[in-house]
Amino acid sequence: MVHAAQPAAGATRAVVLRLEDLALPPRYLTVPSHLPVSHLLRSLPLPSSSSFYLTSDGRPLAPSSPVASLPPSASIQLRLRALRGGGGDGGSTCAESRDCYLSMYLAKKPDKADPNEARLSRFTCCALSGEPLAAPAVADRLGNLFNKEALVEALLHKRLPKALSHIRGLKDMIPIHLHPKPDAADDEVRFQCPVTGFEFNGKSQFLVLRECGHVLSVKALKEVKTSACLVCHKEFDEADKMPINGTEEEVAVLRKKMEEERGKLKEKKDKKLANGLSGNKHAAAAVADAEKLENVKKGDTAAAKRFKAADHAPAYANKAVYASIFTSSKKSDFKETYSCRSLPLGRN
C-alpha cells in the first residue's frame, strides 16, 4: 500500500483568499500546511447568521481539507449562500408577522396632503397666487376663487396655467362680495355667511349669485324661500346660483353651461356677420352699390360714354374748330422733310 507523503514539520503554503461577496479586498496568507482550510477564516468578520462555502478553481472545497492539499499559490474563493425560503429574490416566505405590514400601510405618509387642509386652502386662499383671499375678489365660471389683482396680472402677461385656460378675459370673472367675520383680523378664516353666520372654511356649502355677486351659504337659501338676494334684495333666477369650490359633478355641470353660453354667443356673432354690416349708413351704401352694379348689368353705359367735344359745341361755332381746342392737330398736317422732322403732340 502506498501512503501519501506527510507534510514536513514547519512546512507552509501561500494562499490567496478572495472575499468579493463580503466586499473586502483579497488576503495573501502564508499558513502551515497541516492546518485545515477553515483556519483561513478565523480572522474574518463573518456574522454568525451567515451561511458560506469555499471553492477552489470553481469547485467546492470542504472546510476540513488540509491546506497541504491545495496546489502551490492556490486561490480560494469565499461564497455566501442565499437565504432559504424565498429563492434569494426578496419574496415572502409566509412566515413574516402581519403586524409589520399593517403598521407600514396604516402609518401616515409625511408627503401626503391633508384633505382638510386642502379644503380650507381653497376657501381662504387665491387659487392662482396662493395668497390669502382679500377684496376685491372674483370667481371664474367654474367656482374657483381668486384675488382680482393676481388674476388680471396673469392675464396681461399670459402666465395662466393650463388648468385655468378656460379663463380668457375679464368677461369670465364674476366679482364677488364676501362678508367679513367680526374680530377675525388674525384668524385664517376671515369670512362668513351674512345670514347664518357659517364660517367660510369649506365645511359648509356656499354659492354666489351671479347677478349681484353676494356669497351665501346653501342652507340660508334653503331656509328662506325667496327669489331675491338676502343681502341686496336683487332678483335672481335659479340659473344664477353658482356653487363655490363644488364637487366634480357640480364643476362638470358648470363647465357644460359655460361652453353652451359661449356657443350661443359665437352663433349670434356669426349670424350678425352673415346679415351684413349693421347701421343705416352702411346699409344705404350697400344698397347704392347694388343699384349701381344692376344698372351696369342692364347696359346703362351713359356714364361711361366717351366724351366728344364736337357734340358739345355752341350753335354759332364751327364744330371742327371747337373740337381742335380740346384735341391735338391732325397728324396728316405734318410732313417730314430732309431738313426737319415734325413731331406732333402725342406722336411719341
Q: What is the pLDDT of residues 6-23, one digit of tens each?
A: 556 568 878 888 888 777
pLDDT value at residue 34: 82
Q: Which of 100, 34, 20 is nearest to 69 (CA)?
A: 34
Q: What are the CA-CA distances from residue 15 to residues 4, 23, 29, 210, 333 (Å)?
A: 21, 19, 5, 90, 135
Nearest CA-CA partner of 126 in 114, 112, 139, 141: 139
Residue 122: name the closest of 92, 142, 105 by CA.
142
- Cβ(38)–Cβ(62) under 8 Å? no
Domains and CATH numbers, the chain: 12-80 (3.10.20.90), 115-262 (3.30.40.10)
158 pLDDT higher than 80: yes
pLDDT value at residue 348:
43
Contact 209, 238 (CB under 8 A): no
3-state class (DSSP) for residue 138: strand
Q: How far is Cα 202 from Cα 200, in angstroms, rounded to an integer?
A: 6
Cis-peptide into 60, omega within 30 deg: no
Q: In this structure, what C-alpha cell is assigned to residue 76?
A: 480560494
Over residues 322-347, the mean pLDDT reads: 59
Average pLDDT of span 130-152: 92
Question: Residue 291: what are its φ and ψ, rounded to 5°?
Answer: -65, -40
Q: Find the mean pLDDT for residues 207-220.
A: 93
Average pLDDT, the chain: 77
Whether the per-residue pLDDT at 179 is higher than 60: the answer is yes
DSSP 207: E
Q: Rounded to 5 degrees, what angle do the CA atoms 130, 135, 136 make?
A: 100
3-class state of residue 143 by DSSP: coil
Higher pLDDT, 46 or 209: 209
Q: What is the mean pLDDT of residues 186-205?
A: 89
DSSP characters over 100-127: HHHHHHHSPPTTSPPHHHHHHHHHHB-T
- Which pLDDT belongs to residue 329? 54
Q: Are 145 and 246 in contact (CB under 8 A)?
A: no
Please say if the pLDDT value at position 83 is more than 60: no
